[in-house]
Structure 1
Amino acid sequence: MTTDDGLTLQVTVHGPEDAPLTVLLSHCWTADESLWHYQVRDLLSRYGHRIRVVTWDHRGHGQSDQPVEADCTIPHLARDIGTVVDATAPDGPIVIAGHSVGGMAVTAIPEERPDLLPRIVGVLFVSTSGGDLHTVTLGLPEVGPFVRDRLPFVLATRARLLSRSKRQRFPVIERQVARRVLLGKPQRPRDVGHVVDQLINCSPETMSGFFKDMMLHDRIGGLHAFDGVPTTVLVGTRDRLTPPHHAAKLAAGIRGARLLVAPDAGHYLPFERSDLVSDELAVLIDRALA
């Protein structure tokens, strides 16, 4: 489907058009819609055609078109969510889950697509933040800010200088980032490989553009727009990108929100704690269907 600025997005829809509820899954920075493959499997197994499940590759990710770096922003992602909703679920209630920058895009919906708010009957924020990402130290108080600011540009430079096939053969930096920064414990080899593949397939414009915009992200003040909407916030104790205190601040900004902390998990909860994420989605879906 086509965005409001003319980009083509890769979108996948499971379930009938007349399903009573649509579930939208918004993935993280440098990933693609396959981030949610465990949850899609679990939801289809549990609900069959009683719900509609929609995933998509964000602009600059996966099989979607690459925008210029200046258009790799959270407001653009929020407007793209609106485009996906307009095309796949033009009416009826919505449950939406967002991981990392996908969750930040959800926090921008009140600014960019406020008309969607009355239809949102459940929100799941996974490993994400409402702002102040410029304070993140990656768990390294002394050198953390230096590493945080330069790591995306190291990956972007590798993407510019080395072919994709060469980085696939020698994913030295990408594997270290996956193991040391993105994932907690335990680490399943298939999940490490999946994260590494997604990093290798991410363009330099996407890496640097979204990083710059995330450092400016500040939507804590607008979270009250979700007051009263059943909301759950999930985070891992080993999340170095959006640490637990970010999740706590996010939950505190929404009246009635629940905060759940997963021991030893890192940033990739949809992989690392797939059952927890699926179960919490099911809680919101069951409530919406009831």
Structure 2
Amino acid sequence: MSERTVITEDGLRLHVSVRGRDDAPLTVLLSHCWTADESDWHYQVTDLLAAYGRDIRVITWDHRGHGRSDRASEAACTIPHLTRDLGQIVDTCAPEGPLVVAGHSVGGMALTAIPEERPDLMARVVGAMFVSTTSGELGKVTLGLPAVAGALLRDRLPFVLANRARMLSLSRREKFPTIERQVARRFLFGRPARSRDVALVVDQLVHTPPETMAGFFRDMMAHDRIGNLSAFDDIPTTVLVGTRDLLTPPEHAAKIARGIRGARLLVAPDAGHYLPFERRQLVSDELAALLDRALARLAKEAGEAAVRRGRHRAPAGG
């Protein structure tokens, strides 16, 4: 693994991890959840490298305002910024070759913005996975509560967390993550929930800057990119969601699947919003299926090219 720094169009430093050789035939890009970091995909990274070794290149990164990347102003915490950041990472770390892209939550929303923000990348995408995410209408989500109460809590909770980050020291929030723990257990996980996974998510929430909380929440509420989904038509695409996902419920996944010709929709019983943690095997297996399909296509194209070259070089005559 190599750790790299990629500079965004507005001068922020992004922490990027690249695993695999530079000349790998296929690159996998894994875009993480809001308030998380690149460890959102740590199970899948482990599984993919164990299965494919150096035959693929896997790229993960901390979004702007998350993890080890630079903090961003509230105005610069938007989905289009994430998508352009993704494009800058591709330009820097994987300038050539086919791509399989996967996004969890806001990471998946960033994928839906590729056709408008970086349309040049679409020709390189040979597989896509949308995990616990949406193409729009988050303003209708009620967190599994009655409509009025759910809408009120949905709109206030991110700002409660942001205000805690502003008013309380990091050390105090690390020692007493009372609200963060309640949020993780009540709204982010389904059943069963492993304590170590919940603890990691709580730690990520505690370390999320207030402008990241507020800025991305506002932009996600305005997110509407269902019209972009057809750009993924006939690209092998899998859409995953849990039945207990309260942030991006199953109907949001179904809308994505209906919007992409040929997409597969898989619904995980009892799982919540953190499918990469909660259903490790499912997410890893479905990613592997996309990779197998892409690698088989590449092998076929390479074989056909070799045949054409052989015919071109064959001497004339019998």
Tell me what 1:25 maps to: 30
Q: Give TM-score, length-normalised by structure 2.
A: 0.91
Which residue among 149, 152, 171 is the counterpart of 1:146? 152
Q: Which residue of 2 aligns with 1:46?
A: 51
CA distance in 1, matches of 2:8, 2:274: 27
TM-score (norm 1): 1.00
Shift of 1:222: 1.2
What is the aligned counterpart of 1:57 among 55, 62, 75?
62
Structure-2 separation of matches of 1:274 and 1:229: 24
| 1:231 equivalent among 233, 237, 255 | 237
Greater gyration radius? 2
Matches within 5 A, 1:131-280: 131-142=136-147, 143-280=149-286
Structure 1 residues without counterparts, runs of 5 or longer: none
Greater Cα offset, 138-147 or 106-115: 138-147
Letter in 1 for 2:18: V
State the distance in 1 between where 2:170 and 2:250 align.
34
Tell me whether 1:128 sits opposite 2:151 in the alignment. no
Query: Which residue of 47, 65, 77 corresponds with 1:72?
Result: 77
Amino acid at match of 1:275: Q
Q: Counterparts of 1:50 and 1:164 in 2: how far apart (Å)?
A: 41
Q: Where does residue 301 of structure 2 map in the other structure?
A: none
Q: 1:67 Cα shift?
A: 1.2
* 3-state SS, counterpart of residue 95 of structure 1: strand
Provide the residue aligned with 2:109 in structure 1: 104
1:254 CA drift (Å): 0.3
Distance 1:43 1:237 in 2: 26
* Structure 2: gaps (5+ residues): 1-5, 297-318
Structure 1 counterpart SS, 2:133:
coil
CA distance in 2, matches of 1:97, 1:198: 20
Supply the RMSD in Å over aligned alpha carbons. 0.5
| Larger relative contact order (CA 8 Å, sep ≥ 6) | 1
Matching residue's letter, 1:181: F
CA shift, 1:88, in A, is 1.0
Letter matched to residue 171 of structure 1: P
For 2:91 and 2:217, the matched residues in 1 are separated by 28
Aligned to 1:281: 287
Q: How far apart are residue 141 of structure 1 and its match?
A: 2.0
Q: Deviations over 1:258-283 (max 9, x none)?
A: 00000000000000001110000000
